[in-house]
Each structure stands twice: as structure tokens, then as C-alpha cells.
Homo-oligomer: A and B are copies of this chain.
């Protein structure tokens, strides 16, 4: 492992700001290249992570959390940029379903991300400039390979569990498929074994919105000192609608006006839903790198576990001894229950151990990030049962 030397130009400064992890990092040097699906060998590269709890003596109590598209490694601590609570503090912490008094919980910023791990905002050591679109496309399998190298770094042979929702759930399925022996238990929430046509379509709208912004500068905005703020904001607005359900939107906003009395007969945000979405768009820009958004969406689009096995999803899990917990939400239209059911059927066909829970909620895809007692209870039960089987809890 070698730390790569960093050029000291102003560009580097900006790039470092853009990718500042506020987290520990592991640098993988030129002796540890990462062989990407694109055929490119990436080296050096960096992975930033957060950890909670203590690794036990035989290193058998590690749980890897995989974050979603716009998430990061700050699962259960105050976010260093936004000042908000960790995104999964409801699930992860002392005495929580994923109990940090008992487990060593690890979450790394995905490869291609923008909070410390190597991504398009990082410096390309060959040019001294940010990678931008010169970075190879990253796949879900590439993210998982980088995570595997991280757990090697910790000397962890097998993860007790891998847990994630949405894009995080894709990583869970990839772990269980490609690194089956290293995963004792897997929890995949609100996800699927492939990205659907409609989901690719929404991602493409978001990418086109970013790329349409002249401030994007063909991806070289860090060097140019610009920010494709409006484009990324529009992308986030469109995506955000898909994270909610019609029912949730109707309950939360309906046709309520900002000014309770009257419409203004103009294009300002008359309706509360408009001002909410604008806020979601603008605040996202403050914490996310536009190119990273392109890479993350592309990684999800490319994910198709069955395709890697001649269209037979069951073959992706052949011989698996991993225990699976699959969770879906009734009102999730981004990853509807049918996608989870397809995964559960394939696992059954492969003879794997699987428990599948569909949770009744009207909160849409975002439910996996919210206070959903039924989800907590399902995960808690699954983790405790698996921990007993693994000898981490008394029977």
C-alpha cells in the first residue's frame, strides 16, 4: 500500500474540498490495483469509511453497510457537511437493530462517490487535474471489489452481514453473488437484481439535466471554477419525486398553497410541493458532486445480475450458503415488490435460505430511510437469528 503524492495546485485544493471525507481513509497504492469491469486497472485509489463498535478477536462480528445513490459513509454520526444526523441512525447504534455494542459496523463511501473515496472529483495522479469524465465508468461490482479490499485491509475474512437499501441493496446482492463465501447474512432492502427501463429513463433525464447546464463545462467545472448548480438541482428534483409515493405527496402537500389564500398567477412556487422540491434540489447541490451523480446513476443502470449469468438469476446465487432477508415496501414504485419477489424466487430456486418481507406503507421508496417499525423489527429478528447461528449471540 502506498499513499500517492498529491500535486499542490489550486485545482487540487478545490478537488480536495469537493471530496473531503471527514473520515479515515485507506490508500491503495500502485501495488494494489483495482481491476474494473470496464477493463481499466485503477491505481492508486482511496476509500474513505466510518466505523462504529469494536471488531471482536476472531473478526467475525463485522457488518458492512452499503449506502445508496446519494448517501455516504456517515451512517450513524452527525454529517460533517450538512450537520444532520446519520442517515441510518434509526437502525444503527447502541441497542439498535444493528447494535454497535455487539457488532463492528463499517460503511465506506462507494468508489466513484464524492465523500473521500476515489471518484470523478479526485485528482488523476497522471495529470494533476480532477479525473472528471476521464475516470472509468464504475459498476456495482467494482464498488463491491473495492469494499472487499477494504475488509481485507481490516483482516476480515467473512462479513457477518452486508446490509443496504436501493443502490446499497444492489451491492448487497452483488456481494452475495460474487463473494458468497465472505457473506454470512445479507439484508437487501427496496432494491432489485437489475435496473428497470423506467428507472434508467429517470436517470437519463437527470444526467441530461446536469450535462445541459453550461456550467458543467463537459465535466471540467472544478478546473473552470463553475458549478452546474441548476442542472444538478433539476436532476435531484426529478429523482426525488420517484422516491416518494403519490399517496405520501398527497397527504403531505396535496394542492396546498404557500400563501394559504390564493394562487399568484405566476411562475413562483405557489404550491408547497413546488417549494419543497426546489429546496430539495438546491440543498443537494451543496453536498454532492455533479459528476459523481452521473457515475452513480450509470452504475445502477448497468446493474443486471441475471445478465451476468446468461439471464438465469438463480445461477447468480448457485450454491450460496448465505442467509437472506429481502424487504420491500408496498408503495415503492422505483423498486416495486415485484422486483424483490423476483430476487426471492431466484434465491429459492437456488436453494438459498431466504426470508422475504413486504411492508405495508404509503411512504414510497424513501421508506427504507424512515422510521418504519415493521422494517426495524424484521431486520432485528433476522440479525439476531443469524447472530445466534454464527455464535455471536447465546442461543
Interface residues of A (CB under 8 A from B): 37-39, 133, 136-137, 194-198, 200-202, 204-205, 207-209, 211-214, 230-231, 233-234, 237-238, 241, 244, 246, 249-250, 252-255, 263, 265-267, 269-271, 273-274, 277-278, 281, 294, 298, 301-302, 304, 307, 333
Contact = CB atoms under 8 A, between A and B. Distances in A.
Nearest to A138: B265
B277 A201 contact: yes
The 5 closest A-B CB pairs, nearest first, are: A212-B230, A38-B265, A137-B265, A197-B249, A204-B274
A122 B186 CA distance: 61
A208 B280 CA distance: 13
27 contacts: A39-B265, A194-B255, A197-B246, A197-B250, A197-B273, A198-B246, A198-B249, A200-B255, A200-B274, A201-B241, A201-B274, A202-B238, A202-B241, A204-B271, A204-B277, A205-B241, A205-B277, A207-B267, A208-B281, A209-B234, A212-B231, A214-B214, A246-B333, A255-B307, A267-B294, A270-B301, A271-B301
A37 B262 CA distance: 12
Given A37-B265, A201-B249, A201-B277, 12 more contacts: A39-B265, A136-B265, A197-B250, A197-B252, A197-B254, A198-B241, A200-B271, A201-B241, A204-B237, A204-B274, A205-B238, A205-B277
Q: Identify whether the interface residues of A are mostly helix, strand, loop, or mixed.
A: helix
Contact of A237 (B208, B237, B249, B302): B208
A238 B263 CA distance: 25
A230 B212 CA distance: 6
Contacts of A196: 246, 249-250, 255
A383 B208 CA distance: 44
Contact of A133 (B230, B267, B298): B267
B267 A195 contact: no
A114 to B, nearest CB: 17
Given A208-B278, A212-B230, A304-B255, A273 B133 contact: no
A349 B184 CA distance: 60
Contacts of A38: 265
Nearest to A249: B197
Contacts of A266: 137
Contacts of A249: 196-198, 201
Contacts of A39: 265
Contacts of A234: 205, 208-209, 212, 234
Nearest to A246: B198
B204 A273 contact: yes
Contacts of A213: 212
Contacts of A230: 208, 212
A209 B209 contact: yes
Most buried by B among A233, A274, A301: A274
Nearest to A304: B255
Contacts of A267: 133, 207, 211, 294, 298
Most buried by B among A195, A196, A205, A250: A205
A198 to B, nearest CB: 5
A205 B242 CA distance: 12
